[in-house]
Amino acid sequence: MGVTARAIFQGHIDGLTASSLTPESVPLGAAWAFDQAVGQIAPVSWPQGTTQLVVPTGATMLIVIPPSTNLTPIVLKGAMADTGIPSSPNCASVLAFPQTGGPSPLFVQLTAPVSGVRLIWL
C-alpha cells in the first residue's frame, strides 16, 4: 500500500549557553509516513477536570497544539487513575502510537478550562 500522508517536523535549537555548541544552531528533524492517515483536524475546548479523548479508528499520531498564551498545565493520561504525563501548556506535543493497539483510552486532565486547542489526528 502506498503512503497517503507524511508528517515532517523541522527546526533549529539556538542559544545553548551550557553547551560547547554556542553560538551554533543545532538543526533537528523528524518525519513519519502513513499508509492510512486519519486526517482529522479539530479545534476543541476542554473543561476543567478530566476529559476522555475520542481516538479515531486507525490513528497512529496525535499532535496537540494549545494556544501560545495558555498557562494551564496539560496532563495526558492513559487511564483515569494514573498520574499522567505533563506536557507544555503552550507548546505543541507530538505523540506517535504503534500501528496496532494505539491509545485507547486517552485522557487529558486540566486544572482550568482551555479553549482554542487544535488536535490533529493522523
Q: Determine the pLDDT at residue 1.
A: 47
All structural domains of the chain, each given as residue ranges with its CATH number in brackets, are 1-35 (no CATH), 38-121 (2.60.120)
Report, as an integer, the average pLDDT of 93-107.
79
Q: What is the pLDDT of residues 41-86, one digit of tens each?
A: 999 999 999 999 988 888 888 999 999 999 999 999 987 788 899 9
Q: Hunting for cell 538543526 — which residue is that?
A: 27
Compute how many other C-beta atoms are within 10 angstroms of the C-beta atom of residue 17.
7
Q: Report yes or no: 39 and 5 within 8 Å, Cβ to Cβ.
A: yes
